[in-house]
Structure 1
Amino acid sequence: MRVLIMGNSGSGKSWRARELAAQHQLIHLDLDTIYWTPGAVAVARPAYAVLADLYGFVRSHTDWVVEGCYGDLIEKALPFCTQLVFINPGKDACMANNAQRPWEPHKYASKEEQDSMLPYLMKWVGEYDVRDDTCSYAFHRRVYDAFQGAKREDAPLSGDAA
């Protein structure tokens, strides 16, 4: 089983990936961990390094779950997956989940540092439907609709968080 999960920030991707990983003994990759420079807030790594890490991961593990909002990275990993999942609960649910997001120590040195980024995150999440970047609804929709393999679009289960 090799599952790709994409959606807006706060849609429930990480929760769903952790659940799948535990249930099926899958290795889990949160794309944030390869996209951002460790120890730096909102500093992207060079694209070649991110792609090298992504390809290294999907090629070196038999079974996995990869999740993130980076539609371009999801698109690059499509040839390796057995299922694509698009979690799309709507902007309001994503914003509510982000407002309640617990501290993510793999992304931020402290809860205070994470909270200081919340206004930027909320603005970005709120623009999901109108942005034209690779993390936008339009990009996710295009990737999902074009994929010819096994796929499903759904909203998170009750209690899902980002």
Structure 2
Amino acid sequence: MRVLIMGNSGSGKSSQARQLAAQHQLMHLDLDTIFWAPGEVAVARPAYEVLADLYAFVRSYPDWVVEGCYGDLIEKALPFCTQLVFINPGRDACMANNAERPWEPHKYACKEEQDSMLPNLMKWVGEYDVRDDACSYAFHRRVYDAFPGAKREDAPLSGDAA
């Protein structure tokens, strides 16, 4: 089983990925961990490094789940997956989940640092339907609709946050 999960921040991607990984003994990759520079806040790594790490991961394990909002990275991993999942609960659900997001120590040194970024995150999440970047609804929709393999579009389990 090799599953790609994409959606807006706060959609429930990470929760669903962790659940799948535990249930099926899958390796799990949160794309944030390879996209952002370690120990930095909102500093992207060079694209060639991110892509190299993504390819190394999907080629190194027979079974995995990869999740993130980076539609361009999801698109690059499509040839390796057995299923694509698009979690799309709507803007309000994503905003509420982000407002309640617990501290993510793999992304931030402390909860206060994470909370300081919340206004920027909320603005960005709120613009999901109108942005035209690789993390936008339009990009995710295009990737999902064009994928000819097994796929599903759904909302996360009740109470989940990305």
Question: How many Å separate the matches in 2 of 1:118 and 1:160?
Answer: 18
- TM-score after normalising by structure 2: 1.00
Question: How many Å separate the matches in 1 of 2:136 and 2:161?
Answer: 19
What is the match of residue 126 of structure 2? 126
What is the match of residue 6 of structure 2? 6
SS at match of 2:73: helix
Runs of 4+ in 1 over 4 A off after TM superposition: none
Question: How many Å separate the matches in 1 of 2:93 and 2:153?
Answer: 16
Question: How many Å separate the matches in 2 of 1:101 and 1:160?
Answer: 10
Q: Which runs of 5+ in 2 are unaligned?
A: none
Question: How many Å separate the matches in 2 of 1:53 and 1:161?
Answer: 25
Question: How many Å separate the matches in 2 of 1:30 and 1:158?
Answer: 21
Tell me if 1:28 matches 2:28: yes
What is the match of residue 98 of structure 2? 98
**Superposition deviation, residue 161 in structure 1:** 1.0
What is the match of residue 60 of structure 2? 60
Question: How many Å separate the matches in 2 of 1:72 and 1:110?
Answer: 29
What is the match of residue 72 of structure 2? 72
Question: How many Å separate the matches in 1 of 2:134 and 2:109?
Answer: 27
TM-superposition CA deviations, 1:103-131 (whole Å, max 9, x none): 00000000000000000000000000000
What is the match of residue 43 of structure 2? 43
Question: How many Å separate the matches in 2 of 1:89 and 1:140?
Answer: 13
**Superposition deviation, residue 25 in structure 1:** 0.2
Q: Partner letter of residue 103 of structure 2?
A: W
SS at match of 1:117: helix
The count of corresponding residues between Structure 1 and Structure 2 is 162
What is the match of residue 160 of structure 2? 160
SS at match of 1:107: coil
Question: How many Å separate the matches in 2 of 1:37 and 1:13?
Answer: 21
Q: Partner letter of residue 42 of structure 1?
A: A
Tell me if 1:107 matches 2:107: yes
Q: Partner letter of residue 153 of structure 2?
A: E
**Superposition deviation, residue 49 in structure 1:** 0.1
Question: How many Å separate the matches in 1 of 2:5 and 2:41?
Answer: 23
**Superposition deviation, residue 33 in structure 1:** 0.1
CA RMSD of aligned residues (A): 0.3
Question: How many Å separate the matches in 2 of 1:140 and 1:159?
Answer: 23
TM-superposition CA deviations, 1:106-157 (whole Å, max 9, x none): 0000000000000000000000000000000000000000000000000011
Q: Which runs of 5+ in 1 are unaligned?
A: none
